Structure 1
Amino acid sequence: MHGMLKGALALAIALGTFEAQAQDADLVLYNAKVFTAEPGQPLQQAVAVADGKVLQVGSNEDIRKLAGKDSKQVDLGGKVLMPGFIDSHSHSIFGGLELISASLQDEEMDLDAFVTRLKQDRDSGKAKNGDVVVMNGMNSSYWSKADGLAQRLNHGEWAKVPVILIGSDHHTAWANTAMLKRAKLDAKRVRGLSALEQGNITHDKNFNPTGFLVDSGFDLVAATLPAASTQTMDRAGRAAVKFNNSLGITAWMDPAANGAPGEAVFNIKPTEKSVGVLPVYRDLARDGELTAHVAALQVVNPRSTPADLDVIEKVRQQFQGIPNLTLPGIKVFADGVIEFPAQSAALLEDYKNSHKPGELLIDPKHFGELVSAADARGWLVHIHAIGDRAVRESLNGIEQARKDRQSGVAHSITHLQLVTAQDYPRFKQLGVIASMQLDWATAETYTEELVKPYIADDAYRGMYPAKSLLDNGATIAGASDWPVSTPDPMKAIYQAITRKGEMGVLNAAQGVDRETMFYAYTRNAAQAIGLDKQIGSLAPGKQADMVVLDRDVFNVSNEQLAEARVLRTLFEGREVYRADDVPAL
């Protein structure tokens, strides 16, 4: 029997090779350094493409034999060719909105200069959303200057103009008095909220809100913003796809696709009408403009029950059969953010200033029931967890699903700012992917001034523990959380390696090597979004999503790696982006 199986396997391989050789390639890319993201496979020289899929990868001589008289052959001149990059956590439509509207993009400036900038964007219309002035991309350092913001934006020409400043983390915001009034958020309303919700709205002793908002508090004000038009949302979607393609990105997970601007996300109670940005992806696909795979997740309430998943399924059914769009599972917020003054991430050890542990949004006693119910449906579960307690309880929930069955579904935890050492090995043990935004692993204002003074020293030294997770067998997937930070994979890869920032190096011992990150943004990220059978590596039968880079990213310095430029991006074997100085295929 064993001999028969070996013979059958050999025959299958031979037939597959014969079939590849019998089919002419539509496109042959040769004279390249080809990273296939197939483990153990050395760099190849050429790739043949047919019908939008990889036909074969190999030497220049072997692959060029697959070209017929009508095949297009392109000499890449020794350039690096890789699978298209995959982002395992990107709010791309929101990123597109920021591309076409006012955003500070995390820039820091003095308050007078900021107000001047706000006026310019208001007057140009870029910051106008109906009657509201909106500035996105605010660095969290502005929240410690809330009194100064109030002095400038609650008086004079701003006294009756609603203004909301949205943090680049998309968990925090500041609203002026006119905006709070517009949102009907006053002392009476704050007094009537739960203690947890009150804690997310900065207020005086009489419960009058003073402007700073976190998570559910932000939701209450954001819900009153004028809704973006279909035309605006589709324009944002097109901008997002083009920008992603220009960075070599050909797939991403949208972890909150049933949320739209102005709709509650942190305290969401989804219904079958909670379709968020899903119609944008549908419109792009209809018009042939969705040149990327999107794995769209629906956010569920942290306290959801298994029965609540029926509503999620009803939304899934509305968006079946759309090219390049899948809806493979759910996303859950286990906590908030760690930076001062929000400090809503759930920690095992109290914050030094508040002597409180932050906010655990999930119920540890019942969270495993939700994860297991999703797992039983074949859905992946993607969990936002920043604090070490949130990470531990997230792992506990997934552990319950693994005890109930071995489904093989790839669940993931994202952000992972703090993880305790005893939880490192659990990622491999439970088959949990670490979806990490390693562009954040840097010594800068956020980490040095808004985190370091307020958490335990040991916890700070272990922030974003990529190397420790890797050494314990975890699978790391690349992620950006765009528009919170840049979606540029090469910048994130540089940061993951060096961990350098404007204020020094954030624990160099947690740096990882570049090959690890190349896998993180290809094969591993494909697994995280549930599409590893279709994309993520250059192997026969997989979709021909590829990126050509302008330098040898295997050998250049780290600094040059960070500046690597995409020359071409191919999706389904078609060129969907090329640099201005590069001829068309």
Structure 2
Amino acid sequence: MSAIMEGQGIAYVSGNVFTADNEGTWVEAFVVSESGIFAAVGTNDEILDLARRQKLTTVDLQHRFVMPGIHDAHVHILLGSLATSSYLQPGMDATMTNIASRLKSPECACEHAHVFGDWVIGSLYRIDDFDRAALDVDYPDTPVVLRGGAGHAMFLNSAALEKSGYSLHEPDALHEQFFRRADGSLTGEVTELAMTKAALAIPKPEMAFVKRSITEGIGRLHSVGVTSFQEAASNTTILKALAELDASDELKMDVQTHIVYKPEHLAEESFLTLHKTLDDAASFESKHVRTNFVKFMLDGVPLHPYYTHAGLTDTGEIDESKIQIDDLAEAVARFDKRGMTCKIHCTGHGSTRRALDVYEAVRKSNKDGPKHEIAHCSGVHEDEYPRFKQLNVTAEMSPSMFFVHPITSMSNGLMDWNFGKMLQHGAHLTIGSDWTFQDPAILPSCALILDSVAAALPDATDVKRSAAEEICRMLTKAGAVATGRESTVGTIAVGKKANFVMVNRDLSRGEFEGSQILQTWFEGKSVFEAKQSAQEAK
């Protein structure tokens, strides 16, 4: 046992503690110092003896499973928070005939909908054959915008189209997909870059409300065990809110902000201010917020009826018609030279290949640059798997809810998160919820990837346990390494921040199904504790 004692602390004993280090170390007990770091880690006897000598408060973990706090590699903190607190939710079964009445129903009422002024903002997945007429009768003068298509589409009524600056006969443009009536006028369903005008026109909540929403969202992340996350579409508003929260000691979370380079609709902010914020990224850094991260959305989604992902042509070439950023190579090289980690959204074989080609080029000119990422990794060609390790690129696997899902099964094989193949080729893997509208919990999806991870570990003595421990490391240590925080978080070790969670199941045995977070600690302080019924569940 090693120890760093400084004043009083708390001794946690009789636990089933997975430290998440590479050696698969297990301990029974540890001490958290007053300043919120792990001051000692060891056996029950060692920690109890230390507690007696130091007169420390002792907490019995009751042999429950404990591991480092979860790192969520892909979160949209403001969008997820607003969707929970401020968006109208007409439901997955909304149709053309009931959508307007659903939005006006008491069940759909939202206490904070007023933050968008006279606009009505909601979210759904999609309505087949949507037409603005379904909303125009009930909302003739009120702009209505419904977000959908897994974040790649919007559904607007006529007032919203007009208020956003669209013509009803808006001409087609590159990477803008407009759905049209028989006469050529817009139905109101728009995707990808066609969302830009609406995204920039939607009224923005006041800063006080933004901070309150983010705080509520962080509380929800605490409830699913998250103590660190990567904000995947940061803009100036989010950065200012995080800075103010941290300055007032209200930010109980480690945050890495991927500031959007392109496109504008992803950030919901004009390039005029967004790119200045990117240039000034360092000025937004604070105790818990690191801002040396950039986001690029290179293509769309392989979902019906959009299919805006960049695949490969019949001759094996990248489908350039679906590549949404034409200056990717120059931009990545510029940010790489500044030491900023790039996260490139890729959902198709072609976009993934383009991103890896760009990363390969910057590594030739700057071999010691930062560890970049590919977001989602749901469309990776057989030839590309070895390149993740070769180029020191993190394979960020998200959204976790889609790993096995009816929508995924309808993609005709276009969505495939192959954990086993990634691991066989030595890739560094992280997992993200891609929280926007859904439950941000990652643990339920981990049960669905056990077999895939196990397939990469055929020589293990206990394959299932080894696979489960590997997944636990993906959720903890891997995120710390991906974001450059491995010296301070990610494992339970002396000198690191005491960010940890207690779970009602032994995740190391693959018991992800039915698992619940019982308690979450950030820097030694409890930030979430489940209700008694969950505490008693075993």
| Bucket of the pairwise TM-score, normalised by the shorter protein | 0.7 to 0.9
Partner of 1:9: none
Distance 1:426 1:171 in 2: 28
User: Residue type of the partner of 1:118?
Assistant: L
Change (3 A) 1:518 1:123: closer
Partner of 2:526: 575
Q: Is the 8 A contact 2:502 2:520 kept in 1?
A: yes
Instruction: Pick one of 202, 206, 211 that aligns with 1:229.
Output: 206
Deviation at 1:41, TM superposition (A): 2.9
Matched, 1:216 2:213: no
Partner of 1:196: 174
Distance 2:216 2:149 in 1: 19
Change (3 A) 1:404 1:130: same
Partner of 1:361: 324
The size of the alignment, in residue pairs, is 507
Instruction: Pick one of 345, 351, 356 that aligns with 1:390.
Output: 351
Change (3 A) 1:471 1:309: farther
Matched, 1:409 2:384: no
Partner of 2:425: 472
Matched, 1:245 2:222: yes
Distance 1:216 1:117 in 2: 28
Alignment gaps of 5+ in structure 1: 1-15, 259-274, 351-355, 453-458, 500-508
* Cα RMSD after superposing both structures: 2.9
Partner of 2:517: 566
Q: Is the 8 A contact 2:193 2:263 kept in 1?
A: no
Partner of 1:145: 129
Q: Is the 8 A contact 1:237 1:284 kept in 2?
A: no
Report 1:516-555 matches (<5 A): 516-555=470-509
User: Residue type of the partner of 1:579?
Assistant: A
Deviation at 1:24, TM superposition (A): 5.9
Instruction: Pick one of 63, 84, 107 that aligns with 2:47.
Output: 63
Matched, 1:347 2:325: no
Partner of 2:86: 101
Change (3 A) 1:123 1:245: closer
Distance 1:391 1:240 in 2: 31
**TM-score with structure 1 setting the length:** 0.80
Moved more, 101-110 or 468-477: 101-110
Q: Is the 8 A contact 1:171 1:215 kept in 2?
A: yes
Aligned with 2:41: secondary structure? strand
Distance 2:344 2:390 in 1: 17
Deviations 1:400-442 (A, max 9, x none): 1211122252111011111100001100111111111132112
Deviation at 1:285, TM superposition (A): 1.4
Partner of 1:481: 434
Distance 1:331 1:21 in 2: 39
Aligned with 1:344: secondary structure? coil
Change (3 A) 1:125 1:309: closer
Aligned with 1:158: secondary structure? coil
Distance 2:4 2:309 in 1: 55
**TM-score with structure 2 setting the length:** 0.87
Distance 2:165 2:334 in 1: 38
Instruction: Pick one of 421, 440, 446 that aligns with 1:493.
Output: 446
Report 1:418-437 matches (<5 A): 418-437=379-398
Report 1:324-343 matches (<5 A): 324-343=288-307
Partner of 2:402: 440
Deviation at 1:570, TM superposition (A): 0.7
Partner of 2:118: 131
Distance 1:300 1:426 in 2: 24
Partner of 1:34: 17
Distance 1:39 1:212 in 2: 48
User: Residue type of the partner of 1:174?
Assistant: F
Deviations 1:37-58 (A, max 9, x none): 1011332111222221112222
Deviations 1:503-536 (A, max 9, x none): xxxxxx9x99322221111011112223222211
Distance 1:224 1:409 in 2: 35
Distance 1:310 1:554 in 2: 44
Deviation at 1:173, TM superposition (A): 0.9
Partner of 1:266: none
Q: Is the 8 A contact 1:215 1:336 kept in 2?
A: yes
Change (3 A) 1:428 1:106: farther
Instruction: Pick one of 82, 92, 100 that aligns with 1:115.
Output: 100
What percent identity do the matched residue pairs reach?
26
